[in-house]
Structure formats: C-alpha cells, structure tokens
Amino acid sequence: MENRTRIPIEPMSTTRPVKHQHSHTRYYAHRVRESLTTRFVKLLCSIFLGILLIVGIVLFILWLSLRPHRPRFHVKSFSIPGLNSETGLQNARVTFDVSARNSNQNIGIHYDAMDATVYYRDQSIGQTPLLFPFYQPSKNTTWIHGELSGATLTVDSAKWRTFVDEIGKGTVVFRLDLKSWMRFKVSSWWDSKHHKMHTSCDVAVGQDGEILPTSKDKRCPVYFT
C-alpha cells in the first residue's frame, strides 16, 4: 500500500481583522457623539422656546392690563320743550345729561375742554362749551350736563317750523356730538399722547320734546382721530 502523507489543515480563524474592528469602534463612537450633540441641541432649543413662551405670555398679560379702553358715553336725558308749539321758538332751549364712564382698571383719563354740538339733519343748531380740563380716575363715572339757549342755539323760525311739522309724525331725531382732546394716564410716570375724541349720539324725542325710551341710556360710539 502506498504511504499517504496527511497535510494538517489549520482551522479558520473566527476573529475579525484588527483594522475592521477599529473602524467599527470609531463608527459607533461617532454615532454616540452625534446622538449626544443632537440631544444637547434639542435641549437648548426646548429651553429657549420655553423661555420665549413664558416671556410672550408675560408681555401679553402686561399688554392686556395696560391697554387703555375707550371711555363709554350714554345719553341719560335730552329735552327740547315746546316742540309742539309754534311759539316755542321764543323760549327755545335744549338740555341734556350724558354719563362718561372710565372702565379702565388702573388707567386714568385727562380731558381737555369739552364742547357739545347739536345737529338736526346734519346741520348744526347749536354749540356750547361743557367742561374745563379735568381728570377722571379709573372705574369712575362723570356726569356731563349741557344747555343750549339764546346765542348758543342757532334756531330760526324756518327750522322751528320744520321741527313742528316733523313732530306731527311722532318723533324728531337729533344728534348730540361731544368733542375733546384727551390722554390716558397709565402710571405716575407715563402718559399717552393726546387723542382727539369724538362721540356721536343719535337722540329721538317725542311730541313733548322729551327723549324717547329707545334713545335713553343708549351707548354712543366713540371715535379717535
């Protein structure tokens, strides 16, 4: 029999090359560093957005508390007696009372001199000064009384006859305008700029010359220019 020489076969190594292991180690280390950086950036963004949200809420609350509201005007009474009489022109007189309400919580209002004008069909029938400059504190109601007669009431016989003719239909509608320059006092150290205030009140009166219930206590729109 032939002698056969057996050549020993070395078992295959199950270990990876050292270079390949090092590359995998560097890859995972890089992934860990990326993950930590991403988390840190997200944390910083969350903190920044949280602070921004808190600041925004605080500013919004301050704006709500310091934002001035317009004064509220309501017609309480309006009278022009003698409308049902041809001879009423001899003693023609218009009287009215208006309430001015400052509904602001911590904001006062400085009014300059206030004037009143009464209109009929968009034509002035009289004008008069009402108040000297005054200060109205917060949550305060000021009563404004006015009277037009004599030189302040520019009603001629033709206009009065028109009143008499219209009162025969049941009502006569007038418009009462109040105008003043005003500014808001937000705190002891800050006042707003001056605003020109204009409030317009439509008033309907009956045959006795007194304000009708539909116009009494009616809120008048207020405009700033």
- Percent of the chain predicted with pLDDT > 90: 42
The answer to whether residue 197 scores a pLDDT higher than 80 is yes
Per-residue pLDDT at 63: 59
Indicate the Cα dihedral angle 20, 23, 27, 29, nearest 10°.
110
Question: Which tokens hold the place of 20?
Answer: 């390949």
Per-residue pLDDT at 186: 80
Neighbours of 48 (CB within 10 A): 10
Q: What is the pLDDT of residues 105-120, one digit of tens each?
A: 889 999 998 999 999 9
Q: Which residues contact 206 (CB under 8 A, 6 or more apart)?
A: 167, 170, 171, 212
> Across 140-144, 152-156, 184-188, which has the greatest mean pLDDT?
140-144
Neighbours of 182 (CB within 10 A): 19
Tell me which residue of 113, 129, 102 sits closest to 184, measured CA to CA: 102
Residue 213: pLDDT band by 50, 70, 90 thresholds?
very high
| Percent helix, strand and coil across the chain, each to the nearest 5 | 30, 40, 30
Tell me which residue of 95, 218, 96, 80 sits closest to 162, measured CA to CA: 80
Q: What is the pLDDT of residues 33-87, one digit of tens each?
A: 667 778 778 888 888 888 888 888 876 666 555 678 899 999 999 999 888 776 6
Per-residue pLDDT at 92: 86
Per-residue pLDDT at 38: 80
Per-residue pLDDT at 124: 94
Question: Which tokens hold the place of 112?
Answer: 């300059």
pTM over 0.75? The answer is no
First-to-final CA distance of the chain: 126
Q: Any idea which of 26-35, 155-164, 171-180 has the lowest mean pLDDT?
A: 26-35
**Domain 72-224: top CATH class:** mainly beta
* CA pair distance 200, 52, nearest whole angstrom: 43
What ranges do the domains of the chain cover? 17-67, 72-224
